Chain A
């Protein structure tokens, strides 16, 4: 199901753990959509000196977290801000299409952690709860039929391929 790169990052995830007194923390997801991810940053000279993650999720979510930390490590804040979900999915040499939403989680968590760092630096304090992003479960950029996995338009009320009604499932 997964390619070799994904499996490698899943079985040997890089940068797992927690950074005590991190300069920035980003937390996304909820168990409703299957995955939760926390990113910890240590910033020095406006660069990501160290990055660690914790993830509750499937093989793809763990591989995405691991690859994301590899890409972000050592980058300047400005460059790290440019990391997109697509970059992570591409570095993993592709994810199954019904798993693409996992890659959204990774970049989202990183961007939240950077924002947390910048807010702290600017003296903006936010209540703990606000730090949690309400990650919208979007199936990635596109929608797929939950029955047959065929790509759908966003406003489809039934799937052409399998004739399933989608009012409840979409």
Chain B
């Protein structure tokens, strides 16, 4: 049974070359990279090669600016809590946005309990933060601005370069959660004017459970994990070398193939957006028409609920993600969609379709024809739909 994966935002397949590199690493049975004997040195060399590949993917000044972590969540926690702890003497104010990932929101919630004040900026109807509002929110007490590069629910990309300029002028540390961007769209930490940038390996077809944090030289940030002197004293604990080697390989391929991948994804997205009105009506697109990821479309289908759609698509062997409150543990509508001004009912009908380089145009068409029937079935059951017809 072949499942059409249109839920790449949740998980991407490992690339064959990445798999090979990891199997090779297992077979080499590397020693501890911190050990000073020959066996340790071989491991250290593999570790540093991977760091170099990752550094090149985002154009670091030196590979020393990369700290390997257990993934995007740890990177975000490290950046936010590490900067807050290291700079608390200067001030206890942080600026962020209303549409951040829970890794950011809950890290900040933790800091609030420790006396930090957080200004959370709203987004406009298109889902973007205003750089001017960031500038206005910064005070003498501000030690950190944290705004995500792209949103995991809508795919909308924020004006990071402009926000970075402002943060730099005001001498405030700037972190961006780029977990869904690195390896998908071109990311250059020099152009973006960021001090810290979080990313994850699975976004560019590397293994899960490994990621990294870019820390610009000279940025004051404490480690999240204390212990040994690994990672230049920035992250204690013996490295997940097999995972890191996999990420290094994935980064190398992502840099090499960025353009063809981007073109392929853009074509799939254009196809989906162009064909959509031929299959269903009465929907809202939550994805910015210009500033958005090439691999994600967020769609609120009116009068029906997203989990039902997701389950019926699953029956047809098509995997998508939904932002319906019913499908999440919290039973609450998505904070991101409500921030865009969507009604609760419309937020309930939201699907996130995210594709990868392994998808084809046929996959998009299979999805659309399946979706068409499902929308009709569910609208026939929906009291909201029949009421809307009466008005």
Contacts and interface: CB of A to CB of B under 8 A. Distances in A.
Nearest to B349: A56
Consensus secondary structure, chain A interface = mixed
A37 B382 CA distance: 8
Contacts of B36: none
Interface residues of A, number: 37
A130 to B, nearest CB: 17
B326 to A, nearest CB: 4
Interface string A76-104: 00000000000000000000001101000
A148 B329 CA distance: 8
Contact of A34 (B315, B326, B380, B384): B326
Contact of B383 (A55, A58, A137): A55
Contacts, number: 83
A34 B305 contact: yes
A58 B382 contact: no
Interface in B315-339: 315, 324-327, 329-333
A13 interface: yes
Contacts of B325: 34
Contacts of B329: 98, 146-149
B109 interface: yes
A31 B345 contact: yes
A13 B308 contact: no
B367 interface: no
Contacts of B386: 18, 54
A37 B381 CA distance: 10
16 contacts: A31-B344, A32-B333, A33-B331, A34-B348, A35-B305, A36-B383, A36-B384, A54-B386, A55-B382, A57-B326, A58-B308, A59-B307, A99-B326, A165-B109, A165-B113, A169-B330
- 10 closest pairs, A vs B, by CB? A58-B326, A31-B345, A54-B383, A58-B307, A146-B330, A31-B344, A38-B383, A34-B326, A56-B382, A59-B311
